[in-house]
Amino acid sequence: MKVLLVKMSSFGDLIHTLPAVTDAVRAVPGLKLHWVVEENLAQIPTWHYGVEKIHPAAFRRWKKTPLHTLFGDEWRAFREQLAKEEYDVIVDAQGLMKSAWVTRIARGKTRWGFDVHTAREKLAAMAYDHTVKAEYYIIPRLRRLMAAALGYPLDEKGCDYGIANRHFPGDDRPRQPYVVFAHGTTWPNKLWPLRHWVDLARRVNEGGYMVCLPWGNVAERERASHIARECDRAEVLPEMSLDGMAAVIQSAYGLVGVDTGFTHLAAALEVPSVGVFGPTVPPLPGERDNKQRYLVADFQCAPCFKRQCAYDGPTEVIPACYGALTPQRVWDALREELDANE
């Protein structure tokens, strides 16, 4: 069976898709799986042993110059590349109009996606021959869609991302025991307060670990530098490729992060970690996933799934839902995970 998976972004969502790929490879002998993904994230699908071919797309870049794109060589080459293949099944795991469009321009016998009540953009559901009603949590949602599209029974007991034993070239420097802080995210409402990160860094140092601080833009680099200045042992990492960051996380003793790609990558790599969730929910129900502990805000308007906090009542921190997710609580949870995996 030859399958085209359309899941273009974001970093975390691509990580969440990997268990569905593992399910499919195990359930369908001889499966040939191709993946359409945004060009800047194209490295991620290559990590999984079950992905045969990548079709990089550049929709984020193309939308900045739509007329040039429409009549340009790059867009034509992308369409021609898809047209060379004929698929038994095309699965849109994104649920957007742009991903639905990809399912229509690709050649396939049948197209699957989320139904009108589940797709992120409802009109996308009209592009599919068959639709699936999604689960609340993203990983079960993607696994169920893939199982329905490829026609195999889904065993929901385990969750294998398929990359935990992969070797990542990149960061081979000798290191002392360290904990990675995945402090950056594109949503302002997901950001854990800076003072909490400083407090946690000091606790991590007292526990015998150095802190490693990645960054992806100027604001994140400034936040990382501030945290590093306020504790005894911390390193602001240099700018790295996805392979390089995967190597850093894989070698870490642990990780703490908000709802962001590196936090989910830690779970995929089975690194002891703590995910801090305020306005959003974890990718799986329950408290744990592959050595990752989920701490979820218990607040009157959480989860709100909003980019900016709209709470206007009294609060000591912003976002307000992080009030009970204190550095002490996070450190206690991380220390339990570290002790359990010694």
Residues 53, 36: Cα–Cα separation, whole Å: 9
Model-level pTM? 0.94
Q: What is the pLDDT of residue 63?
A: 74
- Tell me: pLDDT of 157 over 90: no
Q: What is the pLDDT of residue 106?
A: 96
C-alpha pair distances (Å), 300 with each of 64, 245, 303, 313, 321: 39, 36, 9, 11, 8
* CA 175 and chain centroid, separation: 26
Lowest model confidence (mean pLDDT) among 59-63, 215-219, 318-322, 323-327: 59-63
Average pLDDT of the residues of the chain:
93
42 near 128, Cβ under 8 Å?
no
Q: Given pLDDT bands bounded at 50, 70 and 90, which one contains residue 342?
A: confident
Residue written as tokens 């994140």?
220
Q: What is the pLDDT of residue 86?
A: 97
Residues 226, 174: Cα–Cα separation, whole Å: 25
Angle at 242 between CA 53 and CA 307, to 5 degrees: 105
Question: How large is the average pLDDT for residues 315-325?
Answer: 93
- Tell me: pLDDT of 173 over 60: no
Q: Given pLDDT bands bounded at 50, 70 and 90, which one contains residue 129?
A: very high
Position 339, amino acid:
D
Q: How do residues 265-314 score in pLDDT, each as one tens digit? A: 999 999 999 999 999 999 998 888 878 999 999 999 999 999 999 998 99
Lowest model confidence (mean pLDDT) among 4-13, 91-100, 174-183: 174-183
- Tell me: pLDDT of 170 over 80: no
Q: What is the pLDDT of residue 184?
A: 96
Q: Given pLDDT bands bounded at 50, 70 and 90, which one contains residue 70?
A: low
Q: How do residues 259-274 score in pLDDT, each as one tens digit? A: 999 999 999 999 999 9
Position 73, amino acid:
D
Residues 318, 221: Cα–Cα separation, whole Å: 20
Q: What is the pLDDT of residue 175?
A: 62
- Tell me: pLDDT of 174 over 60: no
Pick from 38, 337, 101: which is nearest to 17 by CA?
38
Indicate the burial class of 67 (C-beta count within 10 angstroms; 0-12, 13-18, 19 or more). exposed
Question: How large is the average pLDDT for residues 173-201?
Answer: 92
Question: How large is the average pLDDT for residues 21-37?
Answer: 97
Q: Residue 38 forms beta bridges with which residues?
A: 57
State what percent of residues in the chain have pLDDT above 90.
81
Question: How large is the average pLDDT for residues 4-22?
Answer: 97
Instruction: Report DSSP state, residue 1.
Output: -
Q: Given pLDDT bands bounded at 50, 70 and 90, which one contains residue 74?
A: confident
255 near 179, Cβ under 8 Å?
yes
Indicate the burial class of 86 (C-beta count within 10 angstroms; 0-12, 13-18, 19 or more). exposed
Q: What is the pLDDT of residue 172?
A: 62
Q: What is the pLDDT of residue 111?
A: 98
Q: What is the pLDDT of residue 71?
A: 66
The alpha-carbon radius of gyration of the chain (Å, integer) is: 21
Phi and psi based region of residue 77 (left: phi greater than 0; alpha: psi -120 to 50; beta: remaining): alpha
Angle at 191 between CA 136 and CA 181, to 5 degrees: 100
Pick from 41, 144, 46: which is nearest to 91 by CA?
144
Which runs of E-coded beta strand occur in 23-142?
A: 32-38, 51-57, 86-92, 107-114, 130-132
Cβ atoms within 10 A of the Cβ of 324, count?
12
Q: What is the pLDDT of residue 67?
A: 61
Pick from 168, 151, 130, 142: which is nearest to 47 by CA?
168
Indicate the burial class of 62 (C-beta count within 10 angstroms; 0-12, 13-18, 19 or more). middle
Q: What is the pLDDT of residue 168?
A: 86
State what percent of residues in the chain have pLDDT above 70.
96
Domains in the chain, please, with CATH?
A: 2-150 (3.40.50.2000), 178-340 (3.40.50.2000)
Q: Which of 55-64, 129-138, 174-183, 227-236 has the highest mean pLDDT?
A: 227-236
- Read out DSSP for 119-172? SSSGGGGGG-SEEEPPPSSHHHHHHHHHHHHHT-----S----S-TT----S--
